[in-house]
A = this chain, B = another copy of it.
Amino acid sequence: MEFDLVIVGAGSGGYEAGLYAHRRGMKVAFVELSPETVGGNCLNRGCIPSKYMRYGAYMIERFSHMSRYGILPKGFHLSMPHLKEGRDNVVRTIRENFKKFAQHLGIPIFYGKGFLKDPNTVVVEGADITLRSRFVLLATGSSTVSVGGMVADGRYIHDTDTIWNLEEFPKRVVIVGGGAVGVEFAYIFRMYGADVTLTELKDRLLPMAGIPEESSRFLARKLKKLGIDIKLKTTVNHYEKTEEGLKVSFTDGTQLTTDIILLAVGRKPNTEGFKETGIEMDERGFVVVDKHCRTNLPSVYACGDITSPLMLAHKAMYEGKVAVSHMLGDEGWEKNDTLMPKIIYSAYEVASVGLTEDEAEDEGYHVRVGVVSFVTNPKAMDDGENEGFVRVVVEERTKRILGCHILGPNAGELLHQVIHAMKAGLGADFMSRSVYSHPSLSEAIGQASMEVHFGPITWTKRS
């Protein structure tokens, strides 16, 4: 069969690229492992089900602050079967609609493992199908890895492949890894009633590039307040099964007994066998692509988790469209990791784009930072959720925005205003003179931008 574009992997990146290519007139086909894996990790075992559970956790927390709204709850029961059914229903609905919609548009999905035979041929293993195509997009995603000899058994030891199968809420949880997945699940399990211990090898939570220490500290303070035990510079040293549960020893010398351990550690790109097909790879196993997401084989492109350790669904979606756009002759749309937001949903929404203040200084910029707290934001006060801040990092001379870091209510949506501004090259001057509705959380962005010009003018303490 002949196509303009065959996409190996119908996850976030592949699917989005396929729809975009179809819109732009290409004849497209998907190759995906099985009907159950359409949508990829994000949909089936990642951002979508975790955000669902996080919303429940967030609502439990909100319920405990309702008396000031004249709402005096009599309490509530918690039920994992209800939660699971609701969550799986959302995942299934999105996945089935993906498939139905592809069918409706006339885009075939071939099930099996896709294998690049030559730069214009994809073989679907097991299905005995050979697809010829002008272009190929590799969008095969990533997989969980084990750490420190701990392998997920789906009963005592979980990773993000197995954690969804829990039949009831655990009473005691140890989480290994204080990155995005770790802090999200720490909050979820805590609000659903567990004693939670969160360990992180580095000296702070969310120890990733692009997230300022202020956000890590602020989040850690809140998680502690909610009763989560955070152990930094620590990991699990050893564990054994006992009658009371898993007896865990940590590298800091402490011990405890838990019901489960969740491994919230790194992932590896699904690029096994790629090298043999002639695709240039780096030493870590990632595909080497140019700014248009093209590999060393001119007809073969790659996007998402296999192009760099920045494993974000929207990075994959963006790169997929950049690739398709370039196949069609556009030169102007380029991949851009700096603009990829990092958004974490834990006890707060933690949202970052671009450089932190420290990173910008390390890169030689003269930096100014505008900081505004949500404490005094009228909309945040109305909503009873006025913790957090907006930090806008700006190049002193040009007022160009180098980064923005928001922690607090709706941070993940608010950040988009700054993402667009950064992409368009609009500076803090523009943002300070734009229009913000009153009352709105967005006003804090305008105020932080104004601080950059005029210095701090605020009656709240800095965060």
Contacts and interface: CB of A to CB of B under 8 A. Distances in A.
Interface in A316-360: 317-318, 321, 333, 336, 339-341, 343, 351
Contacts of A310: none
Interface residues of A, number: 100
Nearest to A455: B23
Contact of A67 (B48, B53, B82, B84): B82
Contact of A435 (B318, B426, B457): B318
Contacts of A72: 76-79, 82
A73 to B, nearest CB: 4
A435 B419 contact: yes
Contact of A413 (B71, B382, B423, B441): B441
A354 B35 CA distance: 44
A381 interface: yes
A439 interface: yes
B78 A71 contact: yes
A436 interface: yes
Contacts of A19: 457
B343 A459 contact: no
A131 B375 CA distance: 35
Nearest to A13: B438
Contacts of A340: 435
Contacts of A90: 378, 381-382
B42 A70 contact: no
Contact of A437 (B48, B343, B459): B343
Q: How many copies does the complex hold?
A: 2
Contacts of A343: 437, 440
Contacts of A378: 43, 48, 51, 90, 94
A267 interface: no
Interface centre among A89, A192, A434 (most CB of B within 10 A): A434
A205 to B, nearest CB: 20
Interface centre among A55, A68, A413, A423 (most CB of B within 10 A): A413
A104 interface: yes
A101 B459 contact: yes
Nearest to A342: B437
B382 A55 contact: yes
A153 interface: no
Given A68-B86, A77-B72, A439-B48, A457 B412 contact: no
Interface string A195-206: 000000000000
Contact of A459 (B22, B97, B417): B97
A459 B107 CA distance: 14
A411 B22 CA distance: 30
Contact of A431 (B51, B105, B420, B421): B420
Closest 4 CB pairs of A and B: A70-B83, A68-B86, A56-B69, A313-B438
27 contacts: A42-B439, A47-B439, A54-B382, A59-B66, A68-B83, A68-B86, A69-B83, A70-B78, A70-B82, A70-B83, A71-B78, A72-B82, A97-B459, A100-B459, A105-B457, A314-B435, A314-B437, A318-B435, A339-B435, A410-B410, A410-B413, A413-B440, A419-B435, A420-B434, A420-B435, A421-B424, A423-B435
Interface of A: 12, 19, 22-24, 42-43, 47-48, 51-56, 59-60, 62-63, 66-86, 89-90, 93-94, 97, 100-101, 104-105, 192, 312-314, 317-318, 321, 333, 336, 339-341, 343, 351, 376, 378-379, 381-384, 410, 412-417, 419-421, 423-424, 426, 430-431, 433-442, 445, 450, 454, 457, 459
